[in-house]
Structure 1
Amino acid sequence: MHQHPDRMPPLGLEQLDDGQKAAAQALIDGPRKGVKGPFIPLLRSPQLLDRLQRVGEYIRFDSSLPPRLSEFAMLVVARACTQQFEWFTHVPLALKLGTSSETVEAIRCGRRPDDMNTDETLVYDFTQELLAHRGVCDSTYARTVNRLGERGVVDLTGLIGYFLTVSLVLNVAHTPPETVDGVKALPALPL
């Protein structure tokens, strides 16, 4: 894994203005329990951080989607963005919730997994189509609404958009991943 220098490293407490301190404290007091990952560069814009982290908190902890499908979708977005931090964060969670290691490896390598269950296939197809075309066709929409409901479609779309935003922030900032033993880094894929 090629490592670029971190463009926006963690800020010291003495460097934070009042808005940044309040945003950091909200993260510390919330379910994340700290300022890490995308929130390190986002701390440069505390109002954006505050608003995004509230969306992310909903997406991660209160969405209508089952956690297994949320984590699975996060892997697909992380792969699409070659986003190492999000990949290393969400692979162990996806595996713990039942995504197979074969599916994870196929996604890592940029291949369509062969062993997805019905719900994973639905989420994979919806996510890939949305990322590729900025929308989904009528049949994909109908299948997804039939299985997840309209709220599920909106929550899945919001999850994809949120993790796309977070991944782009991390990519621009060159935020290094917190590597996890046994999790392979994402290889660069040809454009």
Structure 2
Amino acid sequence: MSELPDFGTFGRFIETPADEMPAEMRDAYDFTRKLRGQVPGPHKIWLANPKLSKTVVPTGAYYQTQSTLTKAEIEIVTNLINGRWLAAYANYEHEMIGEKAGGLPAHKVEAIIAGLPTSFDDPRQQVVYELASALIAPRLVPKGLYRRAKALLGDAGIVDVTMLLGWFTGVSLTLAAFDVPANAVGLNQ
């Protein structure tokens, strides 16, 4: 068996330049660029399985444009789950995104990632934080928390929170499996 290099172009993953991709991979690459405008983070790795990539990418795109959650609420959930799975790249990226695009105070994002308690003045943000925290712990969601979440987010919002936790679990574990460091760039394509 030949010796594999310890690191590729994106953590352990060795990217295929776009102009050298097999047809099916290039199709998934083009599909991702169409939906996302770029091929970010774990999407680079998912191209190794083009069929799966084309099923996963629309979920991430949904959270960018159609979710019932605000950008701040999405970043609360994202930073909680990324912190849980210790994915260096995802934590690095979403710490900045949470503060800039999500408009969350830096000390709150830091507390979320570190697993420290924090709170939010906005009742929706607070219930998103509590619901996601309970699910990640793992803990049962008590009746009172469920009722507050249903009143503030509705069933669609609760589904958005739970599926975002699952989606970013996949993101985090993909990045962890390929040991993608915090400031990885990968091929510029």
Paired residues of 1:127 and 1:160 also in contact (CA < 8 A) = yes
Match of residue 173, structure 1, among 169, 178, 185: 178
Q: In the alignment, is the contact (CA less than 8 A) between 2:42 and 2:175 conserved in 1?
A: yes
Q: How does the TM-score come out when normalised to structure 2?
A: 0.83
Query: Does the Cα contact within 8 Å between 1:9 and 1:40 map onto a contact in 2?
Result: no
1:53 maps to 57
Say whether 1:70 aligns with 2:101: no
5+ residue gaps, structure 2? 1-5, 185-189
Displacement after TM superposition at 1:28 (Å): 1.8
Q: In structure 2, how many angstroms separate the alpha carbons of the residues matched to 1:89 and 1:135? A: 29
Candidates 37, 42, 45, aligned match of 1:41: 45
Match of 1:100 among 97, 100, 105: 105
Q: Residue 13 of structure 2 corresponds to which residue in structure 1?
A: 8
For 2:148, which of 143, 146, 149 is the aligned residue? 143
Q: Are residue 124 (structure 1) and residue 165 (structure 2) matched?
A: no
The alignment's C-alpha RMSD in Å is 2.0
Q: 1:25 aligns with which of 21, 26, 30?
A: 30
- The structure whose RCO (Cα within 8 Å, separation 6+) is larger is 1
- Cα 1:135–1:60 change in 2 (3 A) is farther
Partners of 1:172 and 1:20 in 2: CA distance: 20
Identity of aligned residues (%): 25
What TM-score do you get using the length of structure 1 for normalisation? 0.82
Q: CA deviation at 1:147?
A: 0.5
Are the aligned partners of 1:69 and 1:123 in contact in 2 as well (CA < 8 Å)?
yes
- Residues 79, 107 of structure 1: 8 Å contact kept: yes
Aligned length: 174
Which runs of 5 or more residues in structure 1 are unaligned? 180-191
Q: Does 1:152 align with 2:154?
A: no
